[in-house]
Structure 1
Amino acid sequence: MAGNSALTTANEYQDLLLDSPGFPEFLLGLATITASRLRGDGSPLECSITVERDGAPSTVACSSEEGHKLDETQYALDAGPCLTALRGQRTVLVNDFPNDDRWGQYLDLIAEDDVHSVLAVPIVTAPASKAALNCYARTMHAFDPAVVVLIYYHAASMSRILRLALRLHAPEVFPDGLRAALKSRALVDAAVSLVMLQTRGGRDDALGLLQIAATSSNRRVQEIAREIVDGGSFPVPPMGRQR
């Protein structure tokens, strides 16, 4: 998967930081460079970098839309290998994801994404922040010991430039209402995915069922979504009430 060409020089990191207009753009560039360097033999590999700063929403940058979905689903459920690595600041390796029982509901939500191996490695940052490099592969046992060491070294090489970026770019301030809205959107997206799995329908149909359930019970869609994510089941409204 990866070779010595995966290592990025300090000058390249500095150029990226100087050329990035903001912290999200810098993080996106970092994730994209990482994926291209670690994908040494052309094997499919998605990479993302997650940063949590005290008092601010998490910043997630992914090398692809697939990686973005994999990370966002974890945040909606507040559980998954990358969050475990980020918050516990320890390496998490999954060699056979479909048969790993540590994050059951998360596995259900990403079952169609064909992810079989995951490696999440913490990145040392400032005391008030945490970061992790997350790598997703579509083959089992994709991360052998030599690759794990190389990716760990690559994550360590990003520490200094990431700490500098955190100093240069202050956390973006979100009003409480917008912060809550961002969390609600992720929650509803996770519930919609679960309903799609249970009903074998499309996204629009699943969202429609959520809205019907909320209307028929005189509750908010977010409340229904929270129950689905917590319990994993969806009480389909009686057909006579679906209007």
Structure 2
Amino acid sequence: MTETKLHLEIAEAMSEVAAALKVPMDLDDTLEVITRCAADTIPGIVEASISLTTKNGEIRTLAPTSPTIIRADHLQYELGEGPCLEAALEEPVVAVNDLAGDPRWPYYGPKAAALGFGSQVAFQFRAEPHARGALNLYAREPNEIDQDSIYLGSMFAAQVAVAMGWARQDQTMSDALATRNVIGQAVGIVMERYKLDSDRAFAFLTRLSQTSNTKLHTIATALVNQTNDLSEH
């Protein structure tokens, strides 16, 4: 592949990823675009996946490009060693150019080679406040990981972090809008029921929340649900 063609493919891949990074987004679809583009674009790389840590300390695989890479990822989780595990938990970048013979991975390396992988690199990503994991890239042959692989891989890992952060923000915004809407409905109910203006109706709900030690959103939801139930009977 010529350098010009590679640059064009990278530009096209990044444009496709950028198009997927929209709010609101489907996170699963966006992550699948990122891993597929990484596997298709980075020279020597044939498969990609994402390892995501969970609050209870487990690690799970997202957006794998093939069933084989799921097995490779899970081998690392089960054996407690391997590039994607180390990148997800500790190191920013973990590269191995000879999976079968690297002494760092005495159990995982030969098993990965038996699955048909010769080299691998993983990039840690973080997305505030809690998302943390690794973008995992796999090559068929040994010695496929070079500085270009690391440079390009880090770009895709950064896109994963952006997607995770935006998805979190989008969910937070959706939750905030839902909360605001239900409180607004509750204020309207109090205004109509007690013939109050909006400020006094909101103050009424706030006092009720404080005296009962109950969140305002909970008070508002209960009132709206109660009113809806009465209107149905």
1:38 and 2:42 aligned: yes
Report the Cα distance in structure 1 between the residues aligned to 2:114 and 2:41, rounded to whole angstroms. Answer: 26
Quickly say closer, same or farther: Cα 1:129–1:162, change in 2 above 3 A: closer
Percent of residue pairs identical:
24
From 152, 155, 158, the counterpart of 1:153:
155
Q: Deviations over 1:25-72 (max 9, x none)?
A: 543343223222335xxx561111111132375331211111111101
Which letter maps to 1:35? A
Quickly say closer, same or farther: Cα 1:19–1:127, change in 2 above 3 A: closer
Which letter maps to 1:80? G
In the TM superposition, 1:2-151 aligns within 5 A as 3-4=6-7, 5-7=9-11, 8-9=14-15, 11-15=18-22, 18=24, 20=26, 23-38=27-42, 43=44, 45-55=46-56, 57-61=58-62, 62-151=64-153
Which letter maps to 2:117? V
- In structure 2, list runs of 5 or more residues that go unmatched: 173-233
Match of 1:179 in 2: none
Quickly say closer, same or farther: Cα 1:151–1:45, change in 2 above 3 A: same
TM normalised by structure 1 equals 0.58
How many pairs align?
164
Please state whether the residue corresponding to 1:66 is helix, strand or coil.
Answer: helix
1:88 Cα deviation after fit: 0.5
Which letter maps to 2:41? R
1:24 Cα deviation after fit: 4.2
Please state whether the residue corresponding to 1:99 is helix, strand or coil.
Answer: coil
- The answer to whether the 8 Å contact 1:117/1:141 transfers is yes
- The answer to whether the 8 Å contact 2:39/2:45 transfers is no
Which letter maps to 1:124? R
- The answer to whether the 8 Å contact 1:116/1:138 transfers is yes
1:168 Cα deviation after fit: 4.1
Which letter maps to 1:140? P
Report the Cα distance in structure 2 between the residues aligned to 1:86 and 1:169, rounded to whole angstroms. Answer: 24
- In structure 1, list runs of 5 or more residues that go unmatched: 171-243
Which letter maps to 2:81? A
Please state whether the residue corresponding to 2:81 is helix, strand or coil.
Answer: coil
Report the Cα distance in structure 1 between the residues aligned to 2:59 and 2:171, rounded to whole angstroms. Answer: 14
Report the Cα distance in structure 2 between the residues aligned to 1:34 and 1:48, rounded to whole angstroms. Answer: 9
Match of 2:175 in 1: none
Match of 2:202 in 1: none
Which letter maps to 1:46? E
TM normalised by structure 2 equals 0.61
Please state whether the residue corresponding to 2:127 is helix, strand or coil.
Answer: coil
Q: Deviations over 1:109-157 (max 9, x none)?
A: 3342121111111123124221211111011211221222122122223
Match of 2:227 in 1: none
